[in-house]
Structure 1
Amino acid sequence: MTDPRLGLTVTHRRYVPHAHAHYGGSLVDGAYTLGLFGDVATEVAIVLDGDEGLLAGYSDVRFLGPVRAGDVLEATCEVVRIGRRSRELRCTAQVVARAQPERGPSAAAVLDPPLPVVAATATLVVPEPLTGG
């Protein structure tokens, strides 16, 4: 029998502020997106287990494209495996809108299609369920 919790998907969107640009071309470091995955994984744990859990680690992290200040990032975590106390999550991030400073200081555009920027697998750990009554 398949666990009905498999496939649960949570998505957050966040504007990337200019204060996070650390490199030329308004580039943002990869840790910014990994931190966003942590926030999404926390919501997954709350929905599945009624606890914030702990993001124990990432594997197979791939940086696929640049994240820049002024981007709107969409981060998604999908539950792909459920263990006794662990959950494996497929995490993806994409830029859904991007600043266009060449058009003007506040110009931006929706990207269609969105630009994939990070993919990772995360392991989420939750506490043992309480027993007794």
Structure 2
Amino acid sequence: MNAEVGARVVHRRYVPYSHAHYAGDLVDGAYSLGLFGDVATEMCIRTDGDEGLFASYSDVQFLAPVRAGDVLEVSCELVRVGRRSRVMDFAVTVVARGAATPERPGAAAVLDPPVLATTATGTVVVPPAG
């Protein structure tokens, strides 16, 4: 296993309506942060053979809403590797969105272009190599 700058992990996730907390089927920002934890965990498993532990987030930006019915692409890229720390850049991009109407309650559309909704930088720590 080898942690190399430029390594990437990408997940896709449908946002269920049970996660909507606000008017307009909005989902809270913590939802994106939880997804960042998921991709960071996979990154650490792939690079270090351990799930790792989140130490901090920096520069979290909520750029566009995430709504129930969205399909999200959640990505992380390894940008710095220390002895035990791993710094990653994260992004949540909305790639499809529900477009329900009374006539078509299940209508949805692929977004072209996709919408960048949330970004962050995070630091994860892993056990010493050994």
TM-score > 0.5, shorter chain as reference: yes
Structure 2 residue matching 1:28: 3-state secondary structure? coil
Query: Per-residue CA shift, 1:61-90, capped at 9, x if unaligned?
Result: 000000000000111000000000001000
Query: Per-residue CA shift, 1:25-64, capped at 9, x if unaligned?
Result: 0000000010001000000000100110111121000000
Aligned-pair RMSD on alpha carbons?
Answer: 1.3
2:43 is equivalent to residue 44 of structure 1 = yes
Give distance in 1, aligned partners of 2:56 and 2:111.
30
Task: Tell me what 1:87 maps to.
Answer: 86
Query: Would you identify which runs of 4 or more consecutive aligned residues in structure 1 move more than 6 Å?
Result: none
Normalised TM-score (structure 2): 0.95
Equivalent residue letter for 1:121? T
Unaligned 5+ segments in structure 1 are none
Unaligned 5+ segments in structure 2 are none
Task: Tell me what 1:119 maps to.
Answer: 119
Give distance in 1, aligned partners of 2:87 and 2:39.
13
Could you tell me whether the CA contact under 8 Å between 2:87 and 2:121 is conserved in 1? yes
Deviation at 1:4, TM superposition (A): 7.2
Equivalenced residue count is 128
Give distance in 1, aligned partners of 2:42 and 2:85.
15
